[in-house]
Every structure is written in C-alpha cells, then in structure tokens.
Amino acid sequence: MLWYKAWLETRSRFLIALIGITVICSYIVFHGDRNTSSYTMINWYYGVLNNANTILVLTWLLAVALLAMGGSCGRSLREPQRSLSRCRWEERGS
C-alpha cells in the first residue's frame, strides 16, 4: 500500500522527467549533424552520441535528485505539527 501511495504521489513528476530526458537527448542526436558537411568523418558522429550520453547521465541525476525531494518527505515534515496542534486542541477541550 505504501509503494502504491508513493507511486501515486510521484507519477506525474516521473513522467515529466522521462519526457524531458527523451526530448533533450533526441534533439541532440537528431540535430547533432547540423554543422557538418557531406565528407564528415565518423568520429564526429561518435562525438555527438557521446555528448548525448553525457547529457542523458546529467539529466538523469538531476531528475533523480528532484524526484527524491518531493512526495512523502515533504508531507511527513508537516505531519508532526498537525498532530501536535491536534493534541493541544484535545487538551484544551477536556
């Protein structure tokens, strides 16, 4: 149940990160030959793929860090305040 709840909280951020990574890397790969001529060596294309791989790794790390910040962690920090105020309210009433 906890895994399902965590998935419900993070699925939109996960899908946005996945789409963003796919768009950025696809753009780099498909538009990497913009400044080349017809006799470009194969090493240029290896360099384009290497740059796309580097961008993929960096955006993946950024996405993991941003996904780890949200969801249950942010909510659990506010929970003790609510329960504490609820306890104080119950003490006043009795």
Label residue 94 by pLDDT band (50, 70, 90). low
Q: What pLDDT is stored for residue 73 in this prediction?
A: 47
Q: What pLDDT is stored for residue 68 in this prediction?
A: 79
CB 80 within 8 A of CB 31: no
Whole-number mean pLDDT of the chain? 75
pLDDT at position 12 over 60: yes
pLDDT, greater one: 21 or 88: 21
pLDDT average, residue stretch 11-18: 85
pLDDT average, residue stretch 17-43: 82
Task: Please identify which residue in the block is written with the tokens 């899908």.
Answer: 15
